[in-house]
Structure 1
């Protein structure tokens, strides 16, 4: 940070970009937001009164809204199914509900397109597991010709029941197997409120009301999994250090820059300025390998498995560990039974350590790993984990 301050004051009096930005994120982990694919309504997002940080969808387009307003919402399951939840909740309540009962709030343009396609197909076909068609008062069910546990087929007032059938002046009362609300009346109409069920009642009076597979209203508004995040670093790290100018509160400017005195200020992202780059000396490999395979991979593609010799390196590596897809990840730390000590594969002496409680012990088949919180643990070397390489 001191090097950045020196560079700012000496060379870039007008300021320069740094990799800190406030922008939109999807709720589901791993789904990236791409502004070019967004479906904003005209004039949106507008962040009215600087309080609209969550996104709802209405008629297929998006607009930002206050997160505490209650709307119905759409959940996503990992098996690529979607659930319209007709229970109005705040955005955070909706997110918690979806994560508890499904996977997450619907996230990403691809999921939204799949959701629309799925429901358009349902609307076009109106598929019911017993679709009801009416031709001149005749009730036919494609799933089995109005099967009412007694196969009641009613054609122009005539009732044929394989079970119990009584015909009085064209009226058929079925109090047994073929229950049509206790009575099947055929006066040019067929009312099937019993076993010929389309998710409840199928009333056919010259029209078809289909409740099983009935097309749901997808116009909305619904909460979706898009929200405006607080400031975050472009490389995904979560360093909490901030150096804002006093009273820096401009919510409409979403990229950070340095100022002549080394402080930070928000500005419009489409402005052109000089910028700072940095070289990261470590890289997280999100592939699952044994410790030995990870060692060979790092040496073949980069430099070596990472070693940590001081607190600064620990902080840098543990930021990468937070983004791992496994609970632990390999370090270049190994135990030797012959000499009875831990060593780094890069030949550095193990001076700095960050072992967890009860660690490390002396097991001949163990290597050093780090959890996502940065604590070191010993693991049998045949576990398959992510790992971090030196570049």
Structure 2
């Protein structure tokens, strides 16, 4: 039996139905933790150049595929499996990642969803530099960061978000890329982000003068849909280190996926490709929360839910294009039972609240800021904002 959440509308019968449904749902233990992605991949067997593939995807779908984590890589491989007649034609497929021929390099964390913040760095004095150009990967030496060539072999630190012991010093000398693969295969990823590096468990690791790889790297690759995804899973270390400023104007490189790894090829080469369909849509019309809810249900499916960091990344990508400071989501507070819930049956397990947000209130709904860190704010449901719907 499935019981759905309903909106706590001003009409008393709707409110009564909602409270009854919530109560039954809690008693039955039917609250679900949905990890569905808000996008679908579509493998296209036609061989095209990267630019032709991009044009096709934008006309027929949303864009060339963006990849956010290893789960997406698995989905890509499942989508491509058995769809081609020959192993040769299936060996590589374009995705939406392209090397930029101009502009500055950008720092990223290896762990998906971890955003690099330049104000939270721990560079050693004089770093980063490029004395052994290119130096695009980072080591930790006694709490300070130094950038090294990614081909250097160092010991490294893995992070595991599923075990009581979260940080693991691996005393094997590996290149940065091999270290990343080992961490992803056996733990979660290379240690990433200031929250992990300032964690008390991390800071009590034995002090050492050794250079230890962490999950920080820089490159010039960008996604076709302008996504901020930092996910990279290169097959060869040359891809990670092939980002020097010299000669970039002549490099027209685009990314392919094969056997679960990324590699690059000349963008004028012809390959099959992977598109994606976005399941969220921004409505640039100002409405109250309940008006937005009615609109989504009439024209699409529902106000959008954000139940994990991947959905957060997808929704905030759309929120950036809004013309209001916030966008409504399908997040609502029930005053009677005293908790927040999503309209799509998920409990609020993943959270991205602004730290100074208002106290809970009976007429409160959840909105995401369209700039800054895209945090969630508790807003009066009578305010009018743009909003984000789930497509049918």
With structure 1 as the length reference, what TM-score do the two structures score?
A: 0.42
Instruction: Mark the structure with the bigger radius of gyration.
Output: 1
Q: Which has the higher contact order (CA 8 A, sep 6+)?
A: 2
Tell me which protein shows more helix as a share of its residues: 2
With structure 2 as the length reference, what TM-score do the two structures score?
A: 0.42
